[in-house]
């Protein structure tokens, strides 16, 4: 029952996180599009531009003031809770999935790190990361946006690398996303909203607004805009073990982030000119290149796989490894079946014996030989190439067992 309730808690928080995240990102994308598409030719007095649009059977006329209307409205909508609830739900999800059972998802297999230390590093790094970012933005670098952006990119990728040294690949990616998300919501809470409040207060008091705060808010808003696509990738990355499960997962994240920023820059600037029209095809080519260089080797083992610690190899597993991998095939399926049953089917079964799950994760089951054969590609991706499964290597799958599975799959995964 506990596993069932945990699963539904995970589902509920994840759903909330997705809903409010869509609201936040959707509003951000919409206002960037609106700003870039305003008609600024001969605007009425006091306006910087307007835009006509049709949607949902209605025609809309939107106007942007240079500063403010002659009379401030009684009901002025503020876009803030979308950001706050996205962060709050995200941190709650981080706690439920990674911090309630750190040995399962958070700590790297074979690591001696204490769970409390891992949690402290994970959550503490989010706080430290915000203050480092804030100090950099307020430093002289803040007056050189391009250089500041490069420095921030290097620091984020350094954080991804550092996370990968102490956490599982999946946790390293999620904490990198949480770090970026913390920076983004910190920008809204600490910089953008205070700047907007100061602007409204100055207008209501008939004072000249201080130009410093709006300038800071604009810089942070631009950062949030370019952070968006890398964060969205990280949110879906746990479905793709060839990224976070690689030995060079931090480098893969760096490459995808560069492509994401390139795509975002194209959409941010396409209203001005077609100077960056090459960005989309370049990003497509970049993704193809990343898919090629991250492809696992199917011969002679898996050289790029994350090594398994000797402590993870049980005596039984070492005995099972005595059969040479090159003999994997029909005669080896009995041994493959044993490995899958002992190392994988404790969770991936119609009736999991692991107390962690009340149902087979992702609906993947290994109860019959045919089910095992049908999932051979996934077995290779997650247990052989990336070695992210079993979770936390809690069933102690040995390297020799992984090699045997890989050799059997290379033979075509025969079961009879």
Listing DSSP states for 171-202 in one string gives HHHHHHHHHHHHHHHHIIIIIIHHHHHHHHHH
Q: What is the mean pLDDT of residues 180-203?
A: 95
Residues 288, 314 share a domain: no
Residues 362, 245 share a domain: no
**What confidence tier does 191 reach under pLDDT thresholds 50, 70, 90?**
very high
Contacts of 101 (CB under 8 A, 6+ apart): 356
**What confidence tier does 320 reach under pLDDT thresholds 50, 70, 90?**
very low
**What confidence tier does 301 reach under pLDDT thresholds 50, 70, 90?**
very low
Q: What is the mean pLDDT of residues 39-62?
A: 92
User: Is residue 49 domain-resident?
Assistant: no
**What confidence tier does 265 reach under pLDDT thresholds 50, 70, 90?**
very high
Contacts of 293 (CB under 8 A, 6+ apart): none
Residue 260 has pLDDT above 50, yes or no: yes
Segments in 187-278 forming alpha helices (H): 193-204, 212-236, 241-244, 249-269
Which of 261, 293, 325 lies at the terminal end of a domain, its last residue?
Answer: 293
Residues 269, 324 share a domain: no
Q: What is the mean pLDDT of residues 292-297?
A: 79
Least confident window among 136-140, 292-296, 310-314, 376-380: 310-314
Q: What is the pTM of this model?
A: 0.79
Residues 115, 22 share a domain: yes
Q: What is the mean pLDDT of residues 1-29?
A: 90
pLDDT at 297 (0 to 100):
61
pLDDT at 298 (0 to 100):
53
Query: Per the structure, how many domains does the chain have?
Result: 2
Residues 110, 228 share a domain: yes
Residues 146, 265 share a domain: yes
Residues 285, 193 share a domain: yes
Q: Whole-angstrom Cα distance, residue 167 to residue 53?
A: 48
pLDDT at 386 (0 to 100):
79
How confident is the prediction for the chain on average, in pLDDT? 87
Tell me how far the alpha carbon of residue 371 is from its chain's centroid. Answer: 30
User: Is residue 64 domain-resident?
Assistant: no
pLDDT at 325 (0 to 100):
39
Burial class (CB in 10 A: 0-12, 13-18, 19+), 218: middle
Most distant CA pair in the chain, distance: 86
Nearest residue to 410 via CA among 297, 331, 292, 319? 297
- Can you give the C-alpha Rg of the chain in angstroms? 26
Residue 58 has pLDDT above 90, yes or no: yes
| CA 29 to each of CA 24, 89, 283: distance values in angstroms, whole numbers, following the listed order | 9, 21, 20
User: Is residue 54 domain-resident?
Assistant: no
Q: Whole-angstrom Cα distance, residue 362 to residue 378?
A: 12
Q: Any idea which residue has 């992210």 for tokens?
A: 388
Residue 172's region, left for phi above 0, alpha for psi from -120 to 50, else beta, is: alpha
Segments in 270-392 forming alpha helices (H): 279-293, 315-320, 333-339, 369-374, 376-379
Domain assignment of residue 378, given as a range: 310-410
Residue 329 has pLDDT above 70, yes or no: no
Q: What percent of the chain has pLDDT over 70?
A: 91
Contacts of 244 (CB under 8 A, 6+ apart): 169, 170, 172, 173, 237, 238, 252, 253, 386, 388
Residues 283, 314 share a domain: no
Is the model more confident about 274 or about 279? Answer: 279
pLDDT at 311 (0 to 100):
37
Q: What is the mean pLDDT of residues 188-192?
A: 96
Q: What percent of the chain has pLDDT over 90?
A: 57
Taken in order 214, 216, 220, 226, is the CA torsion positive or negative? positive
pLDDT at 188 (0 to 100):
97
Q: What is the mean pLDDT of residues 166-190?
A: 96
Is the model more confident about 343 or about 322? Answer: 343
Residue 296 has pLDDT above 80, yes or no: no
Q: Any idea which residue has 């979308």 for tokens?
A: 82
Least confident window among 201-215, 216-230, 312-326: 312-326
User: Is residue 298 domain-resident?
Assistant: no
Contacts 24+ apart (CB under 8 A), 197-204: 200/68, 200/72, 200/76, 203/67, 203/68, 203/72, 204/72
User: Is residue 135 domain-resident?
Assistant: yes
* Helix 212-236 with 249-269: angle, nearest 10 deg: 130
User: Is residue 65 domain-resident?
Assistant: no
Residues 326, 195 share a domain: no
Burial class (CB in 10 A: 0-12, 13-18, 19+), 379: buried
Which of 264, 293, 322 lies at the terminal end of a domain, its last residue?
Answer: 293
Residues 267, 123 share a domain: yes
User: Is residue 416 domain-resident?
Assistant: no
Residues 240, 138 share a domain: yes
Q: Any idea which residue has 């045919």 for tokens?
A: 370
Q: Do 302 and 382 contact (CB within 8 A), yes or no?
A: no
pLDDT at 397 (0 to 100):
92
User: Is residue 301 domain-resident?
Assistant: no
Number of other residues whose CB lies within 10 A of the CB of residue 14: 17
Residues 317, 246 share a domain: no
**What confidence tier does 364 reach under pLDDT thresholds 50, 70, 90?**
confident
């Amino acid at each position: 029952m506990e596993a069932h309730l945990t699963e539904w808690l995970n589902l509920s928080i994840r759903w909330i996180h997705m809903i409010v995240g869509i609201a936040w990102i959707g509003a951000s994308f919409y206002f960037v599009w609106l700003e870039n598409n305003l008609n600024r030719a001969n605007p009425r007095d006091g306006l910087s531009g307007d835009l006509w649009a049709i949607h949902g059977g209605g025609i809309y006329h939107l106007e942007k003031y240079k500063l403010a209307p002659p009379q401030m409205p009684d009901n002025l909508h503020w876009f803030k809770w979308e950001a706050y609830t996205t962060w709050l739900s995200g941190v709650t999800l981080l706690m439920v999935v990674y911090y309630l059972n750190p040995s399962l998802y958070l700590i790297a297999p074979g690591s001696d790190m204490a769970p409390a230390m891992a949690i402290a590093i994970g959550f503490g790094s989010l706080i430290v990361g915000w203050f480092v970012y804030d100090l950099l933005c307020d430093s002289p670098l803040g007056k050189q946006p391009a250089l500041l952006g490069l420095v921030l990119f290097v620091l984020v990728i350094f954080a991804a690398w550092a996370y990968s040294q102490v956490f599982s690949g999946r946790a390293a990616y999620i904490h990198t996303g949480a770090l970026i998300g913390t920076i983004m919501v910190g920008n809204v809470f600490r910089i953008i909203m205070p700047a907007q409040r100061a602007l409204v207060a100055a207008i209501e008091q008939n004072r000249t607004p201080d130009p410093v705060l709006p300038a800071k808010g604009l810089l942070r808003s631009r950062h949030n805009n370019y952070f968006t696509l890398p964060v969205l990738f990280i949110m879906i990355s746990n479905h793709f073990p060839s990224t976070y499960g690689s030995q060079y997962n931090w480098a893969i994240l760096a490459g995808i982030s560069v492509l994401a920023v390139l795509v975002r820059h194209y959409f941010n600037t396409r209203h001005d000119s077609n100077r960056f029209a090459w960005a989309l095809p370049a990003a497509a080519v970049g993704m193809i290149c990343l898919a090629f260089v991250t492809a696992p080797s199917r011969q002679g083992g898996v050289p790029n796989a994350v090594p398994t610690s000797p402590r993870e190899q049980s005596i039984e597993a070492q005995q099972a490894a005595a059969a040479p991998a090159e003999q994997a095939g029909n005669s080896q399926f009995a041994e493959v079946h044993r490995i899958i049953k002992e190392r994988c089917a404790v969770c991936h079964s119609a009736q999991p014996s692991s107390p962690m799950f009340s149902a087979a994760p992702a609906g993947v089951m290994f109860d019959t030989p045919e089910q095992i054969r049908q999932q051979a590609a996934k077995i290779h991706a997650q247990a052989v190439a990336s070695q992210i499964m079993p979770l936390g290597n809690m069933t102690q799958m040995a390297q020799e067992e992984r090699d045997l599975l890989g050799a059997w799959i290379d033979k075509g995964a025969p079961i009879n």
